[in-house]
Amino acid sequence: MADIAQESLDLHRAHKGKLEVASKVPVKDRAALSRVYTPGVGAVSTAIGEDKTRVWEYTMKGNMVAVVTDGSAILGLGNLGPEAALPVMEGKAVLFKELAGVDAFPLCLATQDPDEIVAAVKAIAPVFGGINLEDIAAPKCFDIEKRLQDALDIPVVHDDQHGTAMVVLAAFLNALKVKGAEAGAVRVVMNGAGAAGVAVAKMLLAAGVADLTICDSKGVIHAGREGLTDAKRELAARTNPRGITGTLADAVKGADVFVGVSVAGALSGDMVRTMRTDPIVFALANPTPEIMPDEAAAAGALIVATGRSDFPNQINNALGFPGIFRGALDHRVRRITDDMLTQAARNLAAVVETPDVEHIMPDIFDPKVVPAVADAIC
Amino acid sequence: MADIAQESLDLHRAHKGKLEVASKVPVKDRAALSRVYTPGVGAVSTAIGEDKTRVWEYTMKGNMVAVVTDGSAILGLGNLGPEAALPVMEGKAVLFKELAGVDAFPLCLATQDPDEIVAAVKAIAPVFGGINLEDIAAPKCFDIEKRLQDALDIPVVHDDQHGTAMVVLAAFLNALKVKGAEAGAVRVVMNGAGAAGVAVAKMLLAAGVADLTICDSKGVIHAGREGLTDAKRELAARTNPRGITGTLADAVKGADVFVGVSVAGALSGDMVRTMRTDPIVFALANPTPEIMPDEAAAAGALIVATGRSDFPNQINNALGFPGIFRGALDHRVRRITDDMLTQAARNLAAVVETPDVEHIMPDIFDPKVVPAVADAIC
């Protein structure tokens, strides 16, 4: 990790970041200039002025996504502000382009106030075909996303929620396939009820999971617990069918599947040993997972997945967002629904023809990934 | 013109606009991914989180300009809104990159309210090294620019004002050189007191013009006129030393220089005939100038300049903004002053070694232009 960190610092300094804005049309003489700029461009502006929908045909809008953050929840690093978020957002834009041909531009906002974030995104929306919200802290992220979805005629996706949930569901489906189990018959315990946790829970429920119990830093979420946020209260009503209370250790006893979207070290080998035979462990905290893969395997886990590229079974958002927006732009989708994302997860899972314990997810660079996901967003 | 219009429409449709966002770093495998994105990028975010000024070293910010408009005054077309403005702003971003290597991204705002424009630009400022305001109507453009200059630690330039003024001053200096006259000894009449007019007037005064009279659509601006805006009242106090009243026709009698930043056909050949011997005529209305060059020449004009590429002596902002922001970014300038712009005009004029009546301005593609202008912005 130390080497990668230094190499990453060196790369960013050498290139002054990672993104550039380039012309798709060479402009080397006055003839080209008169078509790209004045006077010719006046005809294009006039055409769009007469019919605004032509902006999709004649401008960059139809292939351009804004990657918007307030820097309040950067990776696992916390609230470091907009400047510190920029390298992550540039990286995300690089992946949009390299993996899916989507042009993406990072906007790191100088405000963390929800009303001001909503106002800023509404203001800049005309030049974009979609909005990818990123690394905005829970619970404000839920409200910001909903208000923007209601206000704008382009898709708005908080990727930490829905991109993560789609990719986790794909991994879950293939893990069950390897295990030979059905979604409705397994006990699932999830640790973490932030932006990702809430969305993953909803996707698992939509996919037919009947016995899902969710924990946060205060223990098991149940309807009788005091001080739940709105999002957690809603989840409490739809989960924990056996009325479990207590800690994560209480919840995982007898569970078939653990999904961690929480913090390093949250799951111990002893806790895995209390799960049912051949458990599935998704330890997705970054960069250090809830449990290291070797420890989980030693405790009897059949399948272990993490967010990391240096272990098997990497569950990474990069398997999701490029295809999600490729599909949304290609099909001019105004709102990305849970049904679309569930189908995208099924398509993504199906990219792996014969999943096994070390191969439940396709490689990020597998050229079948983006088309499979994009096909479902329509 | 009809051919250029159709070719421009065809080009914009074929390419879906003109801009793309590209990666400066190839990402074809997991090793590259881990340096450009997680986990390596975490070290870059942490470094910037510890010292925000590192955003200039490690990200795209140091070479990135926002081209911001509300679409309220697009070219000579008027208030067509943000979507119709996008082709122009994309074209401007193309020129930034092709001429000066500056990355520029267009933001066309879904609001024309000054407070909301200011709030939106402040919100998106962290990822940019400079703000180019464009095609925002007068008089609100003056207040918006000033408020943003006061609020932000990066340069904010309304190009319709200051870019235009810098380029017009360069042309004026070379035209005087050809004519063999001094700035302090000529009578100058300007028609147009919008964004460009106000800024051109201030630059001409700063360059030593002692006898400047300004007209708008209601005639000569003088201190006694009712209903002047703040900007025009300020100009009235500093211009019109001989207390002229009446119309443009009254003002141009006996003048040496006409500068039009107004509307097609505002100046007649008969009006040119009332000017002093060998007058200079800048007819900069786009796309149709205040007077056509052949008509001005027939009426005795020594030098005629327009904004168009199909006549000699093109006075075009593209000679200004690329170098202005190249210099501002390279020298990390926080505020671009009138002194810098005056020096930039002198440098730009000097690019033409031996100006003559048909060559007072360098070609936009002359590689000496951008460095000459950039050198002055420091």
pLDDT of residue B308: 86
Structure tokens at A248: 């994560």
> With contact defined as beta carbons under 8 Å apart, do A308 and A288 qualify?
no
> With contact defined as beta carbons under 8 Å apart, do A47 and B82 qualify?
no
pLDDT of residue B1: 59
> With contact defined as beta carbons under 8 Å apart, do A304 and A297 qualify?
yes
Report CB contact under 8 Å: A98, B27: yes
Query: Which chain B residue lies closest to A367 (C-alpha atoms)?
Result: B28
Task: Return all residues near B23 (Cβ < 8 A) that are at least 6 apart.
Answer: A18, A19, A20, A93, A94, A97, A98, B36
Using an 8 Å CB-CB cutoff, list chain A residues near B129.
none
pLDDT of residue B143: 96
Structure tokens at A199: 């969305």
Using an 8 Å CB-CB cutoff, list chain B residues near A36.
8, 11, 18, 91, 94
Q: Would strands B257-260 and A103-108 be described as parallel, antiparallel, or unpaired?
A: unpaired
The model's confidence at residue A22, banded by pLDDT at 50, 70 and 90, is very high
Name residues of chain B where pLDDT drops below 50. none
pLDDT of residue B39: 85
B28 is catalytic: no
SS3 for B291?
coil
pLDDT of residue B108: 98
B37 is catalytic: yes
Quick one: average pLDDT of A117-139?
A: 97
Closest approach of B309 to chain A, Cα-based (Å): 7
Does the pLDDT of residue A151 top 70, yes or no? Answer: yes
Quick one: average pLDDT of A110-133?
A: 98
Query: In this predicted model, what pLDDT tens digit does every residue of A167-201 receive, in sequence order?
Result: 999 999 999 999 999 999 999 999 999 999 999 99
Expressed in percent and rounded to 5, the helix, strand and coil fractions of chain A are: 50, 15, 40
Using an 8 Å CB-CB cutoff, list chain B residues near A52.
81, 83-84
What does pLDDT average to over chain A? 96
Query: In this predicted model, what pLDDT tens digit does every residue of A235-282 receive, in sequence order?
Result: 999 999 999 999 999 999 999 999 999 999 999 999 999 999 999 999
Rounded to two decimals, the ipTM of the complex is 0.95
Q: Which of B48, B90, B94 sits opposite A59 (nearest CB)?
A: B90
Q: Tokens 């509404």 correspond to what residue? A: A122
The model's confidence at residue A287, banded by pLDDT at 50, 70 and 90, is confident
Q: Give the residue, A274 or A30, on which the prediction is more confident.
A: A274
Percentage above 90 pLDDT, chain A: 94
Does the pLDDT of residue A1 top 90, yes or no? Answer: no
What ranges in chain A are assigned the alpha helix state H?
Answer: 2-15, 30-36, 41-50, 55-58, 82-100, 114-124, 140-151, 159-179, 195-206, 230-238, 248-252, 269-273, 293-298, 321-330, 338-350, 369-376
Query: In this predicted model, what pLDDT tens digit does every residue of B314-335 receive, in sequence order?
Result: 999 999 999 999 999 999 999 9
Rg (CA), chain A: 22
Q: Give the residue, A44 or B76, on which the prediction is more confident.
A: A44
SS3 for B169?
helix
